[in-house]
Amino acid sequence: MTNLVIVESPAKAKTIEKYLGKDFVVRSSYGHIRDIQKKGMGIDLANGFAPNYEISVDKKKNVTELKKLAKQADAVWLATDEDREGEAIAWHLAEALGLDVVNTKRIVFHEITKPAIEHAVAHPRTVDMDLVNAQQARRILDRIVGFELSPILWKKIRTGLSAGRVQSVAVRLIVEREQEIQAFEATDSFKVQGELQLLDAQGKACGIVQVKRTAAFATEQDAQAYLSAVERSALQVISLDEKPATRSPKPPFTTSTLQQEAAAKLGFSVKQTMVIAQRLYESGKITYMRTDSLNLSETAIAQAQQTITAEYGARYSHARRYKTKQADAQEAHEAIRPTDFAVNEVAGERNEQRLYQLIWRRAIASQMADAQLQRTTVEIALSQLAEEKLVAKGEVVTFDGFLRAYDFGDKGEDALLPAMKVGQALTLGQLLARQSYARPPARYNEASLVRTLEEMGIGRPSTYAPTIDTIQQRGYVVKEDREGTPRDYRLLTLNAEGQQAETLTEIAGSEKNKLFPTDIASIVTNFLTKHFGDVLDYRFTAKVEEKFDIIAQGKMQWQAMLDEFYRQFHPRVEAAEDVSREEAGQARLLGAHPQSGLPMFVKIGRFGPFVQIGDGEDDQKPQFASLMPGQKMDTLKLEEALELFKLPRLVGEMPESFYAKAIDGTEFGVAAGQSLIAKQGPFGPYLEYGVKQYAPIKGFDPLSITLEEAVLLVEAKIQADAEKIVKTFPENADVKILKGRWGPYITELSSKKNAKIAKDEDAQTLTLEVCLQRLAEAPEPVKRGRGAKGAAKPAAAKKAPATKTDTVKKTTRKATSSAAKKASTRKATVKKE
């Protein structure tokens, strides 16, 4: 073997190997091969912050194989990604494989095409230690922050919590936005708009003009008075202003703008966008997808001009060279673009096609001519209101330019206006004065959070998606839809029949795919902001990023940067040790219980927020109740807290027995006369219908659910339990195939091990031998313990709250009322007595 090329991913390896020929063998490192050791901090603070690296357990076999290949090769080429993470992986490979970092060839390319690969091989360099040190500094600083902050949160608030330099700042943004929304007081006003009829010289209607009053009225009375005056007025055009205008295309995508546009146009999550973009890059269809550069190479611009001229004509071509605004843009040399502009569609999975189309259109549009517009503004006088005017605006695209390619509803045309002239008369069509309410600041979605992080200089292209994924995985933020609430509004109408007023209802406050902070996010953010203000300070976090950039340029020693940070940070950690759990947990006194006079608090516990009656003094045992879904610690009122103690509640008794039989003969069911009790548990409200028999309450209020509704939920749960068993094996009752949330899977009851079944596999065809083999190859079940990664069960200093209710087992099937109705009508495997 002559040459060994090491890349990051196996998909990329296959593509590159096609271009290099028989003298090259291309292998993958499968991402990072080494990281700071997991035991302890893994950093020698007394020795210049030296990190103790170890090869990841799951990479040891691969590293051994790469070592063997490296010894056999005449030359080793490190071809990992061109950003700092890629440079660090190249350095770690050199260290782990025993290569000479000074002499080992390092090649980079921002697209996986034959010319780009050949050019990279012809112009190798060595590992850039400045880039490596910038990545090391980031990794070490983040480990220090997480390692020293997280135990403080475990001791003072709840075990299993985590903190991070960028993660905690992102959570703070979401928490503070929620606080702004909760503090917002909506004001109302009345906006006037509608349509007028344009009259010709003979007084006949010759066109419709959409108009509005530019300012709103503060009160309904003012709006009524205005409409009355309009009703008595003669209407006339007093000015007509026509101006040409242009609209320019946006630059090609960076990482953040691709994430934002894919969310807006395609409905993709940030993580989904990056996964699909990675596949497109590794298959050679687009350039590198982690970049904050707006630049296009001269070759790419020339190719784009050829494609535009061929597709649309020379008039549409206009070469543009965009400048990256950020002085600290990372090392990736180009914006995200197709590797071949002549290819406007690609084969593959549908979402790959959609994202590629978006990238192609944006990049092509960036090299196209401006759209030409004609904008018209008309002012209309009212004879009874000398100082008042109605305004009409219109916009016409006279040359579509770049909109020919980037036509995602961005034309934004106002209504077309009929031809008119100054002095021309109009008559009333219909005007509406609608009561509208000021909107609070918008909650973040994933794309708008990325935009804000980028604008504030927090994080870099490679960190946006992992950060957003992390804050959701760790329970600080939930992404969900929320229904709005009905709200009345007033509508005043003026037409040929005169004025009318009516009260109508709208749904206000509905949200889709928005990021909401959990109670624990608010508590942790408030605690960290108070005691570690610098770490959560937006400007401080941005300055840290700037220092990483300076290290990458070779203008700062990474050890000096870390030393400066740690000398300020560590004393704050030591000071936080003296903060009491009560202060850190931010328990809030709601008031006194109306009957007993005992104090009532809202607190955070191992299973989430709860209300406590009594403080445990005078040997009187406190009472506990968990908050209901949707209730928040910082907004809960005493009256709402009192309602929580009405659970458990006897809903009634099963009117008749209901049984469902699984395929292995196991019978699930409930007997007539069994009590149905509504309770509140750590995972939400549920119905208890026997010993360790639970049905989650979804879509109903446990305080008001009726017996009929409860019966439907219980029947649906029983039916789901019976259907969960997909296949059993008489010769080995310990192994079963069960139905899970993501499809069927194999389980071994005694060891609690699970094994996957592919989506395209028929679970019924799997033999016992195949199941046992997969179980043997499956990883051991994760044991959650104190301080374990992702742990959610802290060691309890006191008995866990919510003792008034039992713990409910999580179910993987949603029991909705509609599902329950279906269950109640099923005949197969069901018998009623």
Active-site residue list: 288
CA-nearest of 339, 370, 344, 372 to 358 is: 344
Closest by CA position to 637, among listed 703, 587, 590, 588: 590
* Residues whose CB is less than 8 angstroms from the CB of residue 469 and which lie 6 or more positions away in sequence, other chains included: 270, 271
| Number of residues that make up the chain | 833
CA separation (Å) from 601 to 53, 166, 437, 522, 701?
A: 47, 32, 34, 17, 23
- The answer to whether the CB of 614 falls within 8 A of the CB of 603 is no
Spatial separation of the C-alpha atoms in residues 347 and 74, rounded to whole Å: 38
Q: What is the per-residue DSSP string for 62-77?
A: HHHHHHHHHHH-SEEE
Asked if 677 and 687 count as a contact pair (C-beta separation under 8 A), the reply is yes
Nearest to 93 by CA among 118, 59, 48, 116: 59
d(CA 67, CA 88): 18
Beta bridge partners of 191: 434
Q: Are strands 3-7 and 694-696 parallel, antiparallel or unpaired?
A: unpaired
User: Token pair for residue 240?
Assistant: 């007509």
Question: Following DSSP, what letter does each residue of 13-44 receive, concatenated?
Answer: HHHHHHHH-TTEEEEE--S--EEE-SSS--EE
Q: Are 735 and 775 within 8 A, CB to CB?
A: yes
- Strand-pairing partners, residue 592, are 599
Rg, the chain, Cα only: 33
Strands 498-508 and 511-517: unpaired
Buried b (16+ CB within 10 A) or exposed e, 382-396: beeeeeebbebebbe
Contact 587, 600 (CB under 8 A): no
Sheet containing 743-748, strands listed edge to edge, beginning at the edge strand earlier in sequence: 725-728, 735-740, 743-748, 753-756
Residue 261 has phi, psi (to 5 degrees) of: -70, -35
How far is Cα 362 from Cα 291, in angstroms, rounded to an integer?
A: 16
Q: State how beta strands 3-7 and 24-28 pair.
A: parallel
Instruction: Give the CA distances from residue 374 to residues 250, 377, 445, in Å, rounded to whole numbers and listed in that order.
Output: 20, 10, 35
CA 165 remoteness from chain centre: 19
The region that residue 347 occupies, defined by phi over 0 for left and psi between -120 and 50 for alpha, beta otherwise, is beta
Question: By the 8 A CB rule, do 61 and 82 touch?
Answer: no
Do the Cβ atoms of 222 and 433 come closer than 8 Å? no
CA atoms within 13 A on the CB side of 212: 13
d(CA 373, CA 394): 10
Q: Do strands 735-740 and 725-728 pair parallel, antiparallel, or not at all (unpaired)? A: antiparallel
Q: How far is CA 768 from CA 357, 750, 775, in A?
A: 46, 16, 10
Residue with tokens 């374990």: 788
Report the alpha-carbon distance of residue 84 to residue 135 in Å, rounded: 6
Per-residue burial over 748-781, b = 16 or more CB atoms within 10 Å of its CB, e = otherwise: beeeebbbebeeeeebeebeeeebbebbeebeee
> In Å, how far are 287, 543, 629, 699, 741 from 815, measured between CA atoms?
46, 49, 16, 9, 13
